[in-house]
Amino acid sequence: MNIARWLKLCIVASISLVLAIQSPIYTASATREVADDPVQSAESAESAESTESVGAEVKPMAAIYAERRALLEQASQATGIPWTTLAAIDQYERSITVANPKKRTPSKGLIGIYYSDQEWAGMLNPNPQDTDIRSIAIFGGKGRDGSGDGVADRGNDLDLLSTMASRLLGVGTSPDKLRKALSSYYRNARAVERIEQFIKLYENFDRLDLHEHAFPLPRRSIYSYRSTWGANRSWGGARMHEGTDLFAGHGSPVRSTCYGIVEVKGWNNYGGWRIGLRDLNNVYHYYAHLSGYDKSIKQGDIVQPGQVLGWVGSSGYGKPGTQGKFPPHLHFGLYRDNGKTEWSFDPYPSLRRWEQEDRQRSK
């Protein structure tokens, strides 16, 4: 079989993923966000950073995680909302800002919860930058003072957390009540699903520092891949190849590329035995054509970088169990969620970086 045919099969696999994503559970009726520049934002979103700007300072990520955790704990003590819930909302909001760079200004502080001028100050407030809690209240703005300095400042982390908490606290702090509050706040089933996934990750690991990645194949295995993003765009007149094909021997271990949750697992007519993980950047990691899964892996499970998920195979392109219609390889795709929809972006640069990071770590 020639390369053109492999690519065709993979393109079909990509289409079927998109169809799966568009299942009814994801068709939220009303959402707060709309896509603006998917390609550009996806590029910037996946850059691996060891530092981040906070105000005028550039700080190492370890310090940022520690300070952010302290703030979240402080807000948790004041409100009774678990720090993991506040952390999940904060991280979800940050991911939505990354995916909508033209609509949302990134936070300069440690907390990434976003409010527009109108949301914060109130729709008809003549001063969209208002920080006066009395006039904000008069105009029905959401802005609150959480730091106790008498002003409601969107640049203040505690004010942001307090404002979010006050929206959630109306109904109570039990997991059920908080889910209800999140549903009415976001009016978007996807957003609530993401936040609950993030809560699970934070509860499981009890830390914020969960952004390490790994290459999907073991460092010492024999494999080859090249950038095949967008290849064969004209095939079928519809979609391009949404991923990277990694060629490796049948039965080579396939590993988790992230700290994440198993969102999808099972047969798909084109992707064969496939698995999809959601990470804390709100990126979906999609693996297709496996020969099988590690027995311990179930939908909803938490996984970590390097953990074996299954094995390279040639499954797909037919009814369940079909295999061998093309040479064994791993089709790997990355999809970003902007709160409303998902789109694929080229995984090749990320794969190259994770491969290098694996090599560095093993030195």
What residues line the site for Zn ion (CB under 5 A)? Answer: 10, 243, 245, 331
Burial class from Cβ neighbours inside 10 Å (0-12, 13-18, 19+) for residue 24 reads exposed
Handedness of CA 253, 259, 48, 280 (dihedral sign): positive
Handedness of CA 309, 310, 314, 315 (dihedral sign): negative
The nearer residue to Zn ion, 154 or 331, going by C-beta atoms, is 331
The nearer residue to Zn ion, 208 or 330, going by C-beta atoms, is 330
CB of 20 to Zn ion, least distance (A): 16
- For residues 143 and 165, the answer to whether their CB atoms sit within 8 Å is no
Cβ-closest position to Zn ion: 10
Q: How far apart are CA 257 and CA 279, in angstroms?
A: 9
- For residues 217 and 331, the answer to whether their CB atoms sit within 8 Å is no
The nearer residue to Zn ion, 245 or 346, going by C-beta atoms, is 245
Q: How far apart are CA 235 and CA 301, in angstroms?
A: 36
CB of 244 to Zn ion, least distance (A): 7
The nearer residue to Zn ion, 159 or 245, going by C-beta atoms, is 245
Handedness of CA 83, 87, 88, 93 (dihedral sign): positive
Amino acid found at 53: S
CB of 243 to Zn ion, least distance (A): 5
The nearer residue to Zn ion, 120 or 286, going by C-beta atoms, is 286
The nearer residue to Zn ion, 194 or 331, going by C-beta atoms, is 331
- SS3 call for 148: coil
CB of 245 to Zn ion, least distance (A): 4
CB of 300 to Zn ion, least distance (A): 26
How many CB atoms are closer than 10 A to CB 119?
A: 15
Amino acid found at 298: K
Q: How far apart are CA 123 and CA 136, in angstroms?
A: 10
CB of 354 to Zn ion, least distance (A): 18
The nearer residue to Zn ion, 243 or 306, going by C-beta atoms, is 243
- For residues 257 and 358, the answer to whether their CB atoms sit within 8 Å is no
CB of 220 to Zn ion, least distance (A): 23
Phi-psi label, residue 57: left if phi above 0, alpha if psi -120 to 50, beta otherwise: beta
The nearer residue to Zn ion, 213 or 331, going by C-beta atoms, is 331
Q: No. of H helices and E strands in the chain?
A: 10, 12
Tokens of 242: 């949404």
CB of 18 to Zn ion, least distance (A): 14
- SS3 call for 138: helix
The nearer residue to Zn ion, 175 or 230, going by C-beta atoms, is 230
CB of 8 to Zn ion, least distance (A): 10
CB of 89 to Zn ion, least distance (A): 35
The nearer residue to Zn ion, 13 or 75, going by C-beta atoms, is 13
Taking each helix axis from N to C end, the angle separating 83-99 and 38-45, rounded to the nearest 10 degrees, works out to: 130
- For residues 127 and 135, the answer to whether their CB atoms sit within 8 Å is yes
The secondary structure of residue 344, as a DSSP letter, is: E
